[in-house]
Amino acid sequence: MKVPYSWLAEWVKVPWPAPELGSRLTMAGIELEALGAAAPPFTGVVVAQIVSTEPHPQADKLQVCRVSTGSGAPLQIVCGAGNARAGLRSALALVGAQLPGDLTIKAAKLRGVESQGMLASAKELGLADASAGILELPQDAPLGRALREYLALDEPVLDLNVTPNRGDAMSVIGIAREVAALAGTKVSGPAIGSVPAGNADRLAVHLEAPAACPRFAGCILRGVNNRAEAPLWMRERLRRAGVRAISPVVDVTNYVMLELGQPMHAYDLKKLRGDIRVRLARSAEPVTLLDGNTVSAAADVLLITDGDGAVGLAGIMGGLRTAVSEETTEVFLESAYFAPDG
């Protein structure tokens, strides 16, 4: 389990630097397997803003951008990213910058037009496995500031081996409790306010196997834009914890699971049929999962079902039929307790 040092520090005052913290956790039974920075090394990348764009005279898929770093004259950068636009703040690799993969940025002519650097994607900076365009930064990102400093990319990330008997420690707050015990202090996380219901929507839930699932909570969310991106700070925390950002809805459920240790699942509300029933499977009952595989559930397997059949293996994986997608605008959010020995 990967735990960014800064995330842990939001929940407990850590009195030791990361290497000593790792040693103390190891002696307490939670082994430090690795300790590294939040991103691979690179230099010469700063926060910049695209001032203007115009089509490249010799290439339909390229744009000629004027890019400001907050001081001096704007730089001319040739860029082929589809999301490059005036007003966008992004990551600018200056001439001489060293990027992952031993790439050195040089002044160049691209189809006859001078380019004094490169607007970089998250993938090119080692911050993602794939990128659809250049990195988009918040509008309040300070121009000219080193990107490593702005995103705290040199912060340590602890890779911990949590043994199966310590399910209580498989989250940021779980490790924070361990640190608090070692340091003789208290867990004091960020304030989390309650969100009042904005409507009277209800979806009936029937617990037909209460020994296996004694509690199942849920809420309905409407007006969801699942085509958007989760905020950069959340996507970065997920990445540092070893989880790929997928969509706002899925990212939020993963974030809560990592921070609080509470698994969650999101259903497309419009795809659900009738009431939710939490019950044991009928012998060899088929369930088509999010990964596209159809499995046959044995009679002792706990299922989440609706009026048309199974919509998930409880606590393991959701079903494909009710999966959220880019088109999802209404969500039923599940937060349940599934008894390990139920």
Distance in angstroms (rounded) separating the CA atoms of residues 138 and 38: 19
Q: Is beta strand 103-104 parallel, antiparallel or unpaired with respect to 89-99?
A: antiparallel
Q: In percent, how much of the chain has pLDDT > 90?
A: 93
For residue 182, what is the DSSP state?
A: H
Do 106 and 19 belong together in one domain? no
The reported pLDDT for the residue numbered 342 is: 62
Residue 342 lies in a domain: no
Largest CA distance in the chain: 72
Encoded tokens for 13: 């005052």
Q: Is beta strand 205-207 parallel, antiparallel or unpaired with respect to 276-280?
A: parallel
Residue with tokens 């307490």: 28
Contacts of 206 (CB under 8 A, 6+ apart): 275, 276, 277, 278, 279
Residue 57 lies in a domain: yes
Encoded tokens for 202: 């209800």
Q: What is the CATH number of the domain that holds 274?
A: 3.50.40.10
Residue 195 lies in a domain: no
- Looking at the DSSP bridge assignments, the partners of residue 78 are 64
Q: Taking all residues of the chain, what is their mean pLDDT, rounded to a whole number?
A: 95
Domain that holds residue 19: 2-38+155-183
Encoded tokens for 256: 């809560």
Residue 188 lies in a domain: no
pTM of the predicted protein model: 0.91
Residue 275 lies in a domain: yes
Residue with tokens 């999010």: 290
The reported pLDDT for the residue numbered 186 is: 96
Do 219 and 114 belong together in one domain? no
The residue type at 243: V
Per-residue pLDDT tens over the stretch 264-304: 999 999 999 999 999 999 989 999 999 999 999 999 999 99
Distance in angstroms (rounded) separating the CA atoms of residues 195 and 160: 33
- The candidate with the shortest Cα–Cα distance to 189, out of 8, 14, 17, is 8
The reported pLDDT for the residue numbered 199 is: 72
Do 167 and 238 belong together in one domain? no
At 130, the pLDDT band (50, 70, 90 cuts) reads confident
Number of domains the chain contains: 3
Do 122 and 22 belong together in one domain? no
- The candidate with the shortest Cα–Cα distance to 184, out of 5, 27, 12, 18, is 12
Do 171 and 264 belong together in one domain? no
The three state secondary structure string of 79-140 is ECCCCCCCCCEEEEEEEEEEECCCEECCCEEECCEEECEEEEECCCCCCCCCCCCECCECCC
Residue 77 lies in a domain: yes
Q: How many CB atoms lie within 10 A of CB 279?
A: 18
Contacts of 237 (CB under 8 A, 6+ apart): 4, 7, 255, 258
- The candidate with the shortest Cα–Cα distance to 300, out of 330, 337, 342, 335, is 342
The residue type at 143: L
User: What is the mean predicted confidence (pLDDT) over 122-140?
Assistant: 94
Do 173 and 257 belong together in one domain? no
Do 119 and 173 belong together in one domain? no
Residue 131 lies in a domain: yes
Q: Is beta strand 117-120 parallel, antiparallel or unpaired with respect to 89-99?
A: antiparallel
Per-residue pLDDT tens over the stretch 190-222: 888 888 877 778 899 999 999 999 999 999 999
At 189, the pLDDT band (50, 70, 90 cuts) reads confident
Sheet holding 31-37, edge to edge: 2-4, 156-161, 31-37
Q: What is the CATH number of the domain that holds 162?
A: 3.30.56.10
Encoded tokens for 258: 């990592």
Tell whether the model's pLDDT for residue 28 goes beyond 90: yes
Do 163 and 28 belong together in one domain? yes
Do 325 and 269 belong together in one domain? yes
Do 142 and 225 belong together in one domain? no
Residue with tokens 């609080």: 260
- The candidate with the shortest Cα–Cα distance to 106, out of 91, 95, 115, 94, is 95
Distance in angstroms (rounded) separating the CA atoms of residues 242 and 257: 13
Do 214 and 301 belong together in one domain? yes
The reported pLDDT for the residue numbered 194 is: 85
Q: What is the CATH number of the domain that holds 118?
A: 2.40.50.140
Do 251 and 272 belong together in one domain? yes
Instruction: Yes or no: say if 156 and 37 are a contact pair by the CB < 8 Å rule.
Output: yes
The reported pLDDT for the residue numbered 60 is: 87
Residue 80 lies in a domain: yes
